């Protein structure tokens, strides 16, 4: 444990030296700072906290590292954001590392769950029972078991118009949603670009309810209209998505989609870029979108993000853009054009990609 605390302090010294920014202490309570700490709290606890910045930072640091960290509030806040969300050239972010650990262990990620719950699931699977102690130390212990050579991260570009298959995370009804509500779906499969995992099964697709209409007179049906906005990547970054021609075609070709929605295809309308809101409109007497309903979206543009280089992943030619995806997708041979310098583990040494199955 002492060695782990020293490692954490050394890491934070590096982050503070290279990433801290100057800011007036009086600006700490600004909405920008509150929002950024709220993002960290959401990763660790499942939702933003309440109270003053001092109290919230101290709680995060104790739970994450087992101790309060040195530096000003601004420096500590920026260091936390770097540690949790951004990572450094030699240290992938906490979001990336917990996602890799989950994917290797359970073939999916669970980003909507608090970090403590995610760690408990990993520890039960690998050690038989949940453990105690600082969350960062527990994660590093799990990673040392799974990847003795360290966590490898490399950049990969998700092509534009990549079709993503997802399922609604919970049932939506005209009475349970309102205009402006954020809707979550879960990616139904892995997306692998050039042998690099960029989106894992369980990563989220986010949409926004653009309109809701209750059943009206003269038999006019209820309506829920959803505009899809972003897909979450393994690294936690969000790539913009939409309903476009490729995702619409995939939806139409998937014969099971209408059945999963509990309505006939006539009750499901895809409104692409030229439609009412570029969204997904459900009409009918069911007045709901059941949990598990299948949906397809596509990336608006090419998006470069940190990913995990896989081995033993299925490799196949790029699917036709009008085909409904049915499994993990690879766009080229693993590690094509990569060199050992592109793969950086947590200890900062350069090593070639690992081989063999996990």
Q: Nearest to residue 293, comparing CAs of 284, 302, 306, 301?
A: 284
Q: What is the mean pLDDT of residues 117-138?
A: 95
Percent with pLDDT over 70 in the chain: 66
pLDDT value for 42: 95
Percent with pLDDT over 90 in the chain: 46
Q: How far is CA 133 from CA 58, 93, 98, 126, 138, in A?
A: 16, 20, 16, 17, 7
The winner for highest mean pLDDT among 207-211, 265-269, 335-339, 349-353 is 207-211
pLDDT value for 325: 35
Q: How far is CA 75 from CA 12, 16, 41, 186, in A?
A: 10, 6, 17, 34
Q: Percentages helix, strand, coil for the chain, rounded to the nearest 5?
A: 35, 25, 40
pLDDT value for 58: 93
pLDDT value for 217: 61
pLDDT value for 122: 97
For the chain, list the domains and their CATH numbers.
1-153 (no CATH), 156-330 (2.40.128)
pLDDT tens across 173-211, in order?
Answer: 888 889 999 999 999 999 999 999 999 999 999 999 988
Question: Which pLDDT band, with edges at 50, 70 and 90, does 108 fall under?
Answer: very high
Indicate whether 312 pLDDT > 50.
Answer: no
pLDDT value for 262: 41
pTM of the model: 0.75
- Length of the chain measured in residues: 358
């Amino acid at each position: 444990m002492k060695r782990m605390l020293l490692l954490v302090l050394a890491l934070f010294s590096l982050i503070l030296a290279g990433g801290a920014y100057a800011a007036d202490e009086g600006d700490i309570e600004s909405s920008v700072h509150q929002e950024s700490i709220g993002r960290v709290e959401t990763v660790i606890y499942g939702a933003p906290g309440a109270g003053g910045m001092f109290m919230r930072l101290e709680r995060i640091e104790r739970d994450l590292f087992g101790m309060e960290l040195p530096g000003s509030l601004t420096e500590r806040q920026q260091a936390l954001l770097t540690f949790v969300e951004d990572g450094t050239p030699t240290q992938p972010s906490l979001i990336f590392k917990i996602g890799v650990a989950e994917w290797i262990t359970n073939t999916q990620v669970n980003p909507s769950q608090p970090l403590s719950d995610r760690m408990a699931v990993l520890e039960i699977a690998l050690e038989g029972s949940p453990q105690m102690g600082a969350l960062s130390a527990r994660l590093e212990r799990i990673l040392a078991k799974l990847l003795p050579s360290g966590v490898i991260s490399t950049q990969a570009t998700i092509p534009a118009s990549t079709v993503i298959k997802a399922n609604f995370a919970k049932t939506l009804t005209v009475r349970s949603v309102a205009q402006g509500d954020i809707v979550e779906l879960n990616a139904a499969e892995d997306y692998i670009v050039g042998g690099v995992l960029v989106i894992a099964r369980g990563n989220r697709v986010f949409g926004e309810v653009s309109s809701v209409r209750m059943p009206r007179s003269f038999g006019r049906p209820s309506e829920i209209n959803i505009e899809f906005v972003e897909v979450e990547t393994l690294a936690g970054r969000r790539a913009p998505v939409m309903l476009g021609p490729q995702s619409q075609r995939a939806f139409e070709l998937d014969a099971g989609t209408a059945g999963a929605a509990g309505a006939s295809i006539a009750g499901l309308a895809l409104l692409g870029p030229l439609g009412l809101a570029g969204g997904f409109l459900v009409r009918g007497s069911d007045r709901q979108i059941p949990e598990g309903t299948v949906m397809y979206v596509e990336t608006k543009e090419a998006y470069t993000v940190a990913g995990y280089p896989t081995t033993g992943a299925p490799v196949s030619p790029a699917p036709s853009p009008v085909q409904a995806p049915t499994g993990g997708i690879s766009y080229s041979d693993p590690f094509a054009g990569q060199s050992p310098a592109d793969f950086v583990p947590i200890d900062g040494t350069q090593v070639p990609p690992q081989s063999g199955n996990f």
